[in-house]
Amino acid sequence: MINTIAKLGAFNVWANETLLRRLDSSVAAGKEAPQPALRIFSHLINAQAIWIARLTGTQSPLKVWQEHDLAGLHHWHEQTSARFAQLCETTDEAELTRHIQYNNSQGDAFDSQVSDVLTHAVTHATYHRGQVATRMREGGLEPVNSDFITYCREMSGQVEPQL
């Protein structure tokens, strides 16, 4: 049986790394990373850290709209993306159906099932990577294709990784 949540966790790491590589190569070519793109990318990395904290009952080191430069994005990606993918990979049926209680960024209390949280975190990041692509294009940079099917094609060797 295919573990879809594990596959989505791995996709999320790939998509973040693919986006970081494109930003790195653009900066290396003498272009500036657009601040609006960095702000949104910061938000999706921050949200990832926040959801990890909620799932593990710990305190998040990041705030929802805390902004990072490109080096900071690399740092927090390294601190959170693989950890999030690990949570997706290692959850069993009992963990997927477990409920967590938490307060959102406005302080409202909620109760959510772990499987819903993991799915939300990936779809939330996907939504915001689309916004980052738009901000990159508006800033004169060529965005990457971070679609799930592109990830699947790369993983199966049908296409070369994007630079």
Please check whether residue 46 is in contact with residue 65, taking contact to mean a CB–CB distance below 8 angstroms.
yes
Q: Is the dihedral of CA 84, 88, 94, 98 positive or negative?
A: positive
CA distance 11 to 2: 14
Q: What angle do helix axes 4-28 and 70-90 make, rounded to 10 degrees?
A: 170
Task: Find the radius of gyration of the CA atoms of the chain.
Answer: 16
Cα gap 161→15, rounded to integer Å: 11
Q: What pLDDT is attached to residue 1?
A: 57
CA 37 to CA 77: how far, in whole Å? Answer: 15
Q: Name, in order, each residue with C-beta under 8 angstroms of 69's C-beta and a sequence gap of 6 or more.
A: 38
Q: pTM of the prediction?
A: 0.95
pLDDT tens for each residue of the chain, 163 residues long: 579 999 999 999 999 999 999 999 999 999 999 999 999 999 999 999 999 999 999 999 999 999 999 999 999 999 999 999 999 999 999 999 999 999 999 999 999 999 999 999 999 999 999 999 999 999 999 999 999 999 999 999 999 998 7
